[in-house]
Every structure is written in structure tokens, then in C-alpha cells.
Amino acid sequence: MAVLDIKNLNLSFRTESGICPTLYDVSLSLKKGELHALVGESGCGKTMTAMSIIRLLPKNAIITSGEIKFDNKNLLELREPELRNIRGNEIALIPQDPMTSLNPLYTIGNQLFEVINKSKTMSESDSRKKAIEVLSMVKIPSPSEKLEVYPHELSGGMKQRVIIAMALATNAKIIIADEPTTALDVTIQAQIMKILNDIKKEFGTTILLISHDLGLVGEYADEVSVMYSGRVVENAKKDEFFSNIIHPYSKALMEALPANSTGNVLKTIVGQPPSIHERIEGCRFSPRCPICDSEVCKKIPVLADRGNNHFVACHKV
């Protein structure tokens, strides 16, 4: 069952050179209790798609069309006070950089209490008990002591656990995890992903994972969507996706993994992703695509089911 549906989302930026389209007809369906991975190179639109859900967008961003349905409401039609009740409560965000996501002037306890007792109806002792409980859930040692420390006294991995604890404290139905392991070393990355996976299983929480790491996605995702230059180009359940990668861009991403390189030479994708100012007729991957047909690929490809609910946007496969 879908908890959140994004349909034909289009987003542009106002720039000095005019209106620049950035997201093109993006559609995603997040299922209850599943981890949906949104994958692609930096700048492909992953974070803009995620931030559109809770409307934490730059001032020059304009959502021109589409809908985002959550709990029988189109989030794009809600006023800010209504959205504020959903943002952080029912849809929580784990931002990309744990180092700058906590207020350095307040203790961990104070910041957790503010989230837990947003309605100001809980007693101080109940707020403290709940804070210790959520810190324990994310495997923070000596949680009662950690309530008294300041962010600078914690490592990056511990800060990320605190941010996840804040999401748990609100009993959010959806957690948006925007590259939650980027600033962490490999061992801590695995620990953070295990915590998110445990939350998904124990509480039935839906997680939207923004990532460029197909290795990580292959281990933890239930469903995979690949984005390129503002479009979703491939979508399938994880097992189907990795057993039968179809889109040439998805294949190139997979081949660029260090584990798939031979000798000392890392494989790369030829060329650069287009900027938002660049106008490309038809498929936006065509300038870099090894199987491009100069005539056929002038038409914009649409996502089509190639069997087993495996959707691909490409004329040539």
C-alpha cells in the first residue's frame, strides 16, 4: 500500500537567465514499511525531489505542476501552518550533514525535549523518559548521560544517531534520509544503515533513501528508482533491478562501482551531466549514451513497464 505518491512533479528555478526546468514529470510511490532508494549522480534532482515533499526548497524554486498525495491530501495544496504539522511529525528528515544539523548552543537533551514535547503537554519527567528511550533505540551508550552533552562533544556517527532519534521521537510515518552516511567512515555507515533498517522492520516506517551508492542500495533497499538530470529513468523492486538492469545510465552507474572495475583503472561515465541551463532535445542522457540513435532519441522517452513491474524510460532497450 502506498503511503505517499508523487505524480508528474515538475519543478523549475528562477535564474538571471530565466526559468530553468529542473525536475521533469517525476513520479514515485513509497510503500508502507519499505525502503525506497532514489539513486543518481550529484545534481540529478534527488534532493530536490525529496525536499519538494516537505516544501523545504530554495526561494527561487517553483513547483509548476504535479501532486504529492499523503494521507489523502495533496501536500502541494497545503498552507504553511498545515504543512508544519506534517513536517517533522509525520514526515521526518535526516539531513545530509550531521555536523551542522544540531544547534551547538543547546544540549542534546534540550533539542530532543523540544521535539518530543512540541505540544507542551508532557511533564518534564515523561519527556526525559521518552528521550532516553529513543536514544537507546539508536544504540547510543549511556543515553541518560548523553542528554547533558553538547553536539561538539559527540562524533559524527553519534550526531547522526541523535538526528535519527529525533525522527523516532515523533513517530513519523515516513523518514527522508538524504545521504545519511556521506560524512561518515565505512564502519559507522554500516551501523547507521542497520539502525534505519531495524526502524523500518520494527515500526513499519517508510524510508526514502537518497543515495549515489549502489552498493549500499543493493544491501538495504526494497525498491530502486534511478534519476538522471531531473527524470526518473528506471524503477523496479530491488531484486528485479539488480538482476536485470536495463537503462544504459543505470548500467553505467553499476559499471562505475570500484568492485566492477578491472586492474587499477576505475570505469567512468563519459562526459558530464547537463546543467539546468542546458537545453537538450529528447532524452537528456543522449549526449553521453553509448547506444544513442540521433533520430529516435530526439523524442522524450517515457517510463514504460518492461515486465515484472520494471519501468524504463529509453527508446533503445
Query: What percentage of residues in the chain have a pLDDT greater than 90?
Result: 69
Q: Which one-letter DSSP state was computed for residue 154?
A: S
User: Average pLDDT, whole number, for the chain?
Assistant: 91
- Strands (E) across the chain are located at 2-15, 18-31, 35-39, 61-70, 73-74, 91-94, 174-178, 206-211, 223-228, 231-237, 304-305, 311-312
Q: How far apart are CA 117 and CA 170, in angstroms?
A: 9
Confidence at residue 119, expressed as pLDDT on a 0 to 100 scale: 61
pLDDT at residue 120 above 70?
A: no
pTM of the predicted protein model: 0.93
Q: How far apart are CA 273 and CA 277, in angstroms?
A: 11
Q: How confident is the model at residue 20 (pLDDT cuts 50, 70, 90)?
A: very high
Q: How far apart are CA 46 and CA 210, in angstroms?
A: 6
User: Span 251-266, mean pLDDT?
Assistant: 80
What grid cell was written down for 41? 549522480
What grid cell was written down for 276? 539546468
| CB-CB neighbours of 238 under 10 Å | 19
More confident residue, 102 or 117: 102
Q: How far apart are CA 105 and CA 289, in angstroms?
A: 50
More confident residue, 230 or 269: 230
Query: What percentage of residues in the chain have a pLDDT greater than 70?
Result: 98
pLDDT at residue 279 above 90?
A: no
Give bridge partners of residue 14 from the DSSP assignment.
19
pLDDT at residue 205 above 90?
A: yes
User: Span 211-236, mean pLDDT?
Assistant: 94
Q: How confident is the model at residue 234 (pLDDT cuts 50, 70, 90)?
A: very high
Taken in order 133, 138, 144, 149, is the CA torsion positive or negative?
A: negative
More confident residue, 186 or 141: 141
Confidence at residue 32, expressed as pLDDT on a 0 to 100 scale: 95
User: Span 21-48, mean pLDDT?
Assistant: 95
What is the per-residue pLDDT across 164-197, written as a single tens digit (0 to 9) for each?
999 888 889 999 999 988 777 888 888 889 999 9
User: Span 247-253, mean pLDDT?
Assistant: 95
User: Span 32-55, mean pLDDT?
Assistant: 94
What is the per-residue pLDDT across 64-94, written as a single tens digit (0 to 9) for each?
999 999 988 999 999 998 998 898 889 999 9
What grid cell was written down for 284? 537528456
Confidence at residue 1, expressed as pLDDT on a 0 to 100 scale: 77
Domains and their CATH numbers in the chain: 2-90+172-312 (3.40.50.300), 106-169 (no CATH)
Which range has the worst mean pLDDT, 25-34, 230-239, 262-271? 262-271
Rounding to the nearest 10 degrees, give the CA dihedral for residues 214, 50, 56, 17.
Answer: 80
Confidence at residue 268, expressed as pLDDT on a 0 to 100 scale: 84
